[in-house]
Every structure is written in C-alpha cells, then in structure tokens.
C-alpha cells in the first residue's frame, strides 16, 4: 500500500513538472510582437531602401571624449551609448559617388500629422576631421518621409522633409541640444520642394516650412522618421537624444530607449 501511494505521488509530481516545462517552452502566439509591448517595443533600425553603399549606422557605447575633454560634454547626453554613423565619399559607382546612411523607424510614426510636429532636434558628436572633410556644415540630418498633401500638387504623395543643422557649436565633444525648430535649414525633396519653394536650393526655416505645407488641403502625414547622413561628404561621428515632440529617443547599445519630457 505504501509502495502504491509513493508511486502515485511520483507520477503526480512528474506530470506537474512536465506541464510546467511545456508551458515554459510553448512558443508565443504568432500574432505577438517579438519586440514586446510599449514602452519596450523597439522598431528602430537601418532603413535599407534609403541606404546607399556600405555605411555604418549602428547603436554603440560612447563616444567618450575626445581625449582631454572633461565633464558632461565628454559622455553621451543620455545613458552610455549613441547612434554611430560612418559614411564615405567617392565610394560607389553612382552619381554622386558617396554613401548614404539612414537609421529610423518605419512603424511608430506612420500616419501622424506632419503639422503636429512642434519639437524636434538632437545632440551630435562632431569632430575636427569631419570639418576638414566637408566644412563646418558637414553634419548629419533628421528626415521625415511624408505625404505632403499639397492642394497645388495633389498627385504628389511622397517627399522627404529634411533638416540640416547649423554647424555644431562644439568640436571633438558632444554638442548641446540642437533645436531643429529654431536653427538650421529645412527642405522638401522632389515636386513638393519645387511647388513650395522649400528645396535644397532655397531652404526654409521650420516655420516657413509649416506655412508652406498648410496650403488649405488635406493634413500632410508622416510615413517614417530617421536620422541620416549623405549623400555628400565623408562623416564619422554620432548622434544621441533625438527628440520628436515630447519624447526623447535615447540610443543605447542594446536598443533605443524612450524618455518622456513633461
């Protein structure tokens, strides 16, 4: 009798253990997002169709320095990491022959109103070598792919809305926050740039761009948001603390973290 009771207990314990193991090993639902749920969700990465050549746009630690630079400007403004960007000039058989890097998000901003963007900017790690390669204005950019929805050009459903910052006020260290709403220059690519007059030849301020896109038609909407560089001069540096409205995107070695601004 005792032997049978002992056997039943062992069988019960064995079945229970197998149930736990099976539940632990069971695959997640096919509909589950493998990157978790907000705020853990991370849809940032290299935008392949907007990348030319073999540039680097990768999450990294640092940079810390340059050497001899003390204090807060010697480390990334947020956390321990940043988005490292490396592009080369004269490295492809295309015209122009330079590379282009694009690191962004094709999911989370889709359908957002362009005119709802009222805060945007980032921090940059600029070097003296980059200035040698292309001058003080040799800087990375912020790009929103958008549907401009212009009354004057209803068939134009795509344009890149690009911000090119002014020269960094610091070299060989992290810059302060560079505000894209009050500094630098904006332009639209393609027909939208021609129609609005905000193009690479005749750039606009942020407010001028908003006015040009508010032409009485449907609300312009966002497709994607990205940080990039090219196609122009060689540039090797980093970006951190990308701000879009009330959210800062902190580029860390493991993923892109978010931080709200009150």
109 in any annotated domain: yes
Residue appearing with tokens 């064995």:
14
Judge contact between 159 and 189, C-beta under 8 A.
yes
Mean pLDDT within 226-233: 97
40 in any annotated domain: no
Q: Quick one: DSSP state of residue 115? A: G
Give me 23's structure tokens: 């539940």
17 in any annotated domain: no
8 in any annotated domain: no
Domain range spanning residue 101? 45-260
Report the alpha-carbon angle 245-252-42, nearest 5.
Answer: 65
Give yes or no for residue 22 having a pLDDT over 70.
Answer: no
Give me 155's structure tokens: 């068939």
pLDDT tens, position by position, 72-109: 889 999 999 999 999 999 999 999 999 999 999 999 99
Q: What is the pLDDT of residue 24?
A: 41
76 in any annotated domain: yes
14 in any annotated domain: no
Number of domains in the chain: 1
243 in any annotated domain: yes
31 in any annotated domain: no
Q: What is the pLDDT of residue 29?
A: 41
């Amino acid at each position: 009798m005792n032997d049978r009771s002992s056997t039943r207990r062992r069988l019960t314990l064995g079945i229970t253990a197998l149930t736990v193991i099976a539940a632990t090993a069971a695959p997640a639902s096919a509909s589950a997002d493998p990157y978790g749920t907000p705020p853990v969700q991370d849809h940032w990465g290299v935008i392949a169709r907007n990348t030319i050549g073999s540039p680097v746009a990768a999450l990294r630690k640092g940079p810390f320095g340059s050497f001899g630079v003390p204090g807060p400007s010697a480390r990334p403004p947020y956390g321990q990491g940043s988005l490292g960007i490396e592009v080369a000039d004269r490295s492809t058989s295309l015209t122009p022959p330079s590379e282009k890097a694009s690191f962004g998000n094709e999911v989370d901003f889709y359908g957002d109103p362009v005119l709802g963007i009222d805060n945007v900017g980032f921090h940059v790690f600029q070097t003296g070598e980059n200035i040698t390669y292309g001058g003080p204005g040799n800087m990375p950019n912020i790009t929103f792919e958008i549907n401009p929805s212009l009354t004057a050009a209803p068939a134009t459903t795509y344009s890149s809305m690009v911000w090119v910052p002014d020269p960094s006020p610091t070299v060989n260290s992290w810059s302060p926050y560079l505000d894209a709403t009050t500094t630098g220059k904006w332009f639209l690519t393609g027909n939208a740039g021609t129609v609005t007059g905000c193009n690479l030849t005749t750039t606009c301020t942020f407010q001028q761009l908003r006015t040009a896109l508010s032409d009485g038609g449907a609300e312009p909407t966002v497709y994607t948001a990205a940080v990039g560089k090219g196609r122009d001069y060689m540039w090797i540096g980093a970006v951190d603390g990308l701000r879009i409205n009330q959210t800062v995107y902190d580029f860390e070695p493991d993923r892109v973290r978010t931080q709200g601004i009150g």
